[in-house]
Structure 1
Amino acid sequence: MESSVKLGKHVEDPRGKGCLDRIGSLPDELLGHMLSFLPTRSAVRTSILSTRWRYIFTLTSCLSFDDALCFRGIGSRRHIDHDRKRSFEEFVYNVLELHQTSPIKIFSLVCKSNYDISDLNAWVSNAVQKRVQEIYYYVNLVTDVPDALVMCETLVTLKILSDGYYGFIEIPLLVWRLPNLKFLYLAHVKFADCESMQRLFSGCKLLEKLNLECCRGFESDTDTDTDTDTGDHVIISARLLKVLTIEDCTFEDGLFEIDAPNLAYLTYTGNTGVKIVPSWKYSRSLVKAELMFHYYAKLSDYSSLEYNREVFKAAAYNTTELRLLSDTVELLLTLADQEQMPDFHSLSRLHLGYIPYDSWKYVTDLLDKSPQLEMVTFVEGLHHCYSCRAPPPCEPLFPFSCHAQVIEVRDFCGHMGALLHLGHLLKNAKLLKKLIIHKCRFKKFEDELQISKDDLLMLPRASKDCYIELN
């Protein structure tokens, strides 16, 4: 018996009622929109369904090409053999040639193998000519950014990434003009010099979100006799920038100044080798900041520490939520005493990472200068030491004022050092309404507590309304 179903035709229902292939009867434009949510390889495969579907894939608004996924059996391979590389190149050219009538909103190009720069330029140029709005460009080996990306008036989102194991994408010394770009994401990108970086950001007047991850630039030339004291100075002037993320970037011999008066969200991760001048220091728009500096560079460059402390103070000026992760607490707070600690007038939520015992004085200073604080979260416990059984040092714990109504402690193991700080928090949090304790993820709660749960619930507390929740 014939069991095949033809698109767009009435198909007899086994229950005796007639029905219609509803997908096949939809308009071509709607079918093309549906195929836009599929990888281009899967969308092209629908052309074999029937003559009705033969060219529907050419109406898609999203094109995504990934050489590791287009052909079976090569997804885990770094390098594709010559024949398959040639097949991928022909596949991309054929799809782009057939896709002539419809505009492209999103263009994604992921190349795990090495391709000729002329081919990469041709593919990206085709998307630019179709007034593309979003480009995701990922290459595996060292190469230059296609010239077609330099001037694209319709581009709103641009992501340029490279595999860090194989090299960096080179940013050429060109005049970039991206008048409508709002989101720029660069990962493993190398700037030849400060001028190339300056030209890139000078052409992005409407930038609202910037993400720099593992980028490099401004490498010093030891063979020249130039005056290295002056260094290079890059100014990113983004008056509309709201979200800024800088992760593990290295810009040697230069100052990286960011003029972003409307910055609202800041994430900064890296070592002390990056010197950033925060021009948003007196901005009242910053509402959330996350800082994570690496402890290994603590004693390597004191001047860099001073710059990072300025970033810390700038982030603290008006932010309502602050995250200090990794070794940031020790790295930054030990640079400040009671007089130097900035006031956190607007801080309502605080997240603290690793806290050495001798840094608790500076943590209490921070709590004392946060009058609007509502919630404190210790994301890595209250006290870290090499052995949970090790007794804490015999040092006095000074009184302070904690205005938080909720304190959350994660990875609480119950050793004596953690219990000491927990009791100290309860004695100084007069407005505390709820204390949430999460047991250590790796050990049994009962084995690590050196007092019983009942005794833990009976710890003295300044707030009579405080409720302790054990998880």
Structure 2
Amino acid sequence: MAHLGAQSNSKCPEHFWDKDRLSNLLDSLLCHILSFLSTDEAVVTSILSSRWKTLWTLVPKIDFQDTFIRGRSVAPLRILYSVLAQHTAPILSNFTLSWRSPCDSSHFDNWVDTAILRNVQTLDLHFECGQLFELPHTVFHCKTLVGLELYGEIELDLPPSFQLPSLKILRLCEICYTSDNSFSSLCSACPNLEDLTVIYEFIVGNVSIVSFKISLPFLKRLRIDFISLETEPPDYKLEIYAPILERFRFFGYLSNMAFLEKLAHLIEAHFVVCGLGHVFEMCYSDKVFKIVRALNSSKFLELFPGDVECIGFGYIYPSMFQNLVRLNFKVTQSNWHVLQSLLVVAPNLEVLVLDKHYYRKNQLCCMEPPDGSGCLSSRLATFNFNGYEELGHEVEFIKYILKEAIVLNTITIKVSALHSKESVLKKLSMFPRHSTACLLTVEIDDSLE
């Protein structure tokens, strides 16, 4: 083999290993390679040789962050204008601008309009400069726009009429709205939207949106984060019409939310509800479980219904989670009964992951482990419990899983460093198991207090 290798190498020309084969590639291929770099990094390649000197100007993408060039002798403002002047690609597949330096709003308008004139397909604007920039109306008439992401100090003031028929992806992250119906009007002007992200912060002094209407027949992915820094939980109404929705994520404070159509195509759902603090609503559990029941077609579900006592008044029945294969559940002292209710109505569950979430010292809901077979999925193969503390109800629940799970392969228990891994393993190993092939392990998780 060594002899053959030597022969193979001897046939190669002496200059073979020194030859710059990369530079011999076509311009289109080299530009594709450079498109994976930020514009600042792509410009640096111009020093490699005369062959590379202007290649970056042909890349159909501009990705510029002023933080990358701070500390240089030339101001970021001048560098950006120089980049835009030298860049010659007639079409921009992507224009990404992240800006944190103070500047006049006229510059913001010029940069966005330049991208629009280049028939930009994806426009990503991230501004945190301590001042507010109004999004130019030219954006709302850009027929080539496929993706739009707005983050930070950008104000959305919509023109009287407009359409974005090509827009597929829309992400609105902590921006400002000039009126209560700005968000709903924007959604209605994007009839072919498939991916929507809304991160909205309820802040005193800003225009407070109280009505969110999402009516998008082709929407497949929806993420909603509702954040509030106010002492009182926000009061809003959210209506969602998305009949072919496949992935849904909600995080934050829940008020009045409703799906106007059954989510028959739902594959993945993440529903994480923040607590109400000192505010107590008897009807709050109805709001929570109304959404939980609407997610019953999902195959993968992450659920945290909240950690307030009123959750104890909610119910999941009569919904069946027939498609549910994996459940990630954040368990608290007040929602163990919710977990048990889900296990009863999820006959095809294969993976169960519990994350302990005991942040509040509220009273433990009345909870007794199920006492009969047939309640737990006969397909459960994996069970993980993160944050196990050997509390009585936790021990009883693990006993139940070990006793009823027919095909359980692995059970992993994670404890804090305050516990003895060996002691916990010894105690749990004494419990009877239905599945003789089940591998039980106990691990120390340093992230647990």
TM over 0.5: yes
Alpha-carbon distance between aligned partners in 2 of 1:460 and 1:360, rounded to the nearest angstrom: 23
Residue 168 of structure 2 corresponds to: 182
Cα 1:65–1:242, aligned 2, differ >3 Å: closer, same or farther?
A: same
Are the structure 2 counterparts of residues 215 and 409 from structure 1 closer, same or farther at C-alpha, using a change threshold of 3 Å? same
Classify 1:145/1:216 alpha carbon distance in 2 versus 1 (closer, same or farther; 3 Å): farther
Q: Match for residue 428 of structure 2?
A: 456
Check conservation: 2:241, 2:259, Cα contact below 8 A.
yes
Which secondary structure state, in structure 2, belongs to the residue aligned with residue 150 of structure 1?
A: helix
The aligned amino acid for 1:265 is: R
- Name the structure 2 match of 1:319: 298
Task: Provide the rounded CA distance (Å) in 1 between the counterparts of 2:89 and 2:365.
Answer: 74
Q: Work out whether residues 285 and 314 of structure 2, in 8 Å CA contact, stay in contact via their aligned partners in 1.
A: no
With over 3 angstroms needed to count, the CA separation of the structure-2 counterparts of 1:279 and 1:442, relative to structure 1, is farther
Change (3 A) 1:154 1:372: same
Structure 1 segment 91-110 matched on structure 2, within 5 A: 91-110=79-98
Alignment of 1:232-247 (within 5 A): 233-247=211-225
2:6 corresponds to: none
Query: Partners in 2 of 1:442 and 1:176 — Cα distance?
Result: 59
CA offset at residue 257 of structure 1?
Answer: 1.0
Question: Given the alignment, which residue of 148, 155, 166 partners 1:170?
Answer: 155
Counterpart of 1:263 in structure 2 is 245
Structure 2 length normalisation: TM-score? 0.81
- The match for 2:387 is 411
Q: Deviations over 1:30-82 (max 9, x none)?
A: 33333222221232233444444332221111111111112347xxxxxxxxx
CA pair 278-298 structure 1, distance change in 2 beyond 3 A: farther
Partner of 1:70: 69
Task: Give the secondary structure class of the aligned counterpart of 2:69.
Answer: coil
Q: Is the 8 A contact 2:275 2:307 kept in 1?
A: no
Counterpart mapping for 1:291-302 below 5 A: 291-297=271-277, 299-302=279-282
Q: 1:269 to 1:298 in 2, by over 3 A?
A: farther
Q: Is residue 433 from structure 1 mapped to residue 408 from structure 2 by the alignment?
A: yes
Distance (Å, rounded) in 2 between the aligned partners of 1:26 and 1:322: 47
Which of residues 148, 152, 161 is equivalent to 2:142? 152
Q: Shift of residue 161 of structure 1?
A: 0.8
Q: Which residue of 1 aligns with 2:57?
A: 58
Q: Using the alignment, how far apart are the partners of 2:201 and 2:162 within structure 1?
A: 18
Deviating more after overlay: 396-405 vs 285-294: 396-405
- CA shift, 1:333, in A, is 4.7
Q: Which amino acid aligns with 1:63?
A: I
Counterpart selection for 1:286 from 266, 279, 285 = 266
Tell me the distance in 2 between the aligned counterparts of 1:430 and 1:43: 56
CA distance in 1, matches of 2:202, 2:345: 37
Residue in 2 that maps onto 1:227: none
Alpha-carbon separation, structure 1, partners of 2:15 and 2:267: 63
User: Helix, strand or coil: the match of 2:68?
Assistant: coil
Equivalent AA in structure 2 for residue 319 of structure 1: S
What is the CA-CA distance between 1:187 and the residue it aligns to? 1.0
Query: Could you tell me how far 1:454 is from its partner in structure 2?
Result: 4.0
What pairs up with 1:242-391 in 2 under 5 angstroms? 242-249=220-227, 254-272=236-254, 274-280=255-261, 282-297=262-277, 299-302=279-282, 305-316=285-296, 318-325=297-304, 328=306, 333-337=311-315, 340=317, 342-356=319-333, 359-380=335-356
What is the rounded CA distance, in whole Å, between the counterparts of 2:409 and 2:308 in structure 1?
27
Q: Give the one of 105, 113, 118 matched to 2:101.
A: 113
Q: Is this contact kept in 2: 1:35–1:60, CA < 8 A?
A: yes
Give the root-mean-square deviation of aligned CA atoms: 3.4
Given that residues 60 and 94 in structure 2 are in contact (C-alpha distance below 8 angstroms), is that contact kept between their aligned partners in structure 1?
Answer: yes
**CA distance in 2 between partners of 1:422 and 1:441 (Å):** 17
Identity of aligned residues (%): 24
Cα distance, 1:115 vs structure 2: 1.9
| Helix, strand or coil at the partner of 2:106 | helix
Counterpart-to-counterpart distance in 1, 2:150 and 2:321: 37
Residues 305 and 18 of structure 1, relative CA distance in 2, 3 Å threshold: closer
1:408 offset after TM fit, Å? Answer: 2.3
- The answer to whether the 8 A contact 1:60-1:102 is kept is no
Distance (Å, rounded) in 1 between the aligned partners of 2:241 and 2:49 = 57
The equivalent residue for 1:44 is: 43
- The alignment covers a number of residue pairs equal to 418
1:113 positional shift: 1.8
User: Which string of whole-angstrom CA distances, capped at 9 and with x for unpartnered residues, describes residues 99-131 of structure 1?
Assistant: 234321111101112222211111111111111
Helix, strand or coil: the match of 1:69? helix
Q: 1:314 to 1:173 in 2, by over 3 A?
A: same
Partners of 1:377 and 1:69 in 2: how far apart? 40
Q: Is the 8 A contact 2:220 2:244 kept in 1?
A: yes
Distance verdict in 2 for CA 1:276–1:176, change over 3 Å? farther
C-alpha distance in 1, partners of 2:172/2:97? Answer: 15
Instruction: Render the CA deviation track for 1:164-183: whole Å, top value 9, x for unaligned.
Output: xxxx4321132442211111
Letter of the aligned partner of 1:295 in structure 2? G
Cα distance in 1, alignment partners of residues 391 and 146 from structure 2: 52
Deviations 1:399-427 (A, max 9, x none): 25111522222233434442232123334
Indicate the residue corresponding to 1:228 in structure 2.
none
Change over 3 Å in CA distance of 1:144–1:305 after alignment to 2: farther
Partner of residue 78, structure 1: none
- For residues 123 and 307 of structure 2, the distance between their equivalents in structure 1, rounded to whole angstroms, comes to 38
Deviation per residue, 1:366-423 (Å, 9 max, x gap): 2112222222211338x8997xxxxx99975442511152222223343444223212
Does the Cα contact within 8 Å between 1:323 and 1:352 map onto a contact in 2?
yes
Q: Deviations over 1:130-160 (max 9, x none)?
A: 1111121000133222333222211212111
TM-score (ref. length: structure 1): 0.78
Aligned partner of residue 408 in structure 1, secondary structure: strand
Cα distance, 1:70–1:343 mapped onto 2, change above 3 Å: same
* Structure 2, unpaired ranges of 5+: 1-11, 443-449
Which of the numbers 133, 146, 151 marks the counterpart of 1:143?
A: 133
- In the TM superposition, residue 220 of structure 1 has moved relative to its aligned partner by 9.5
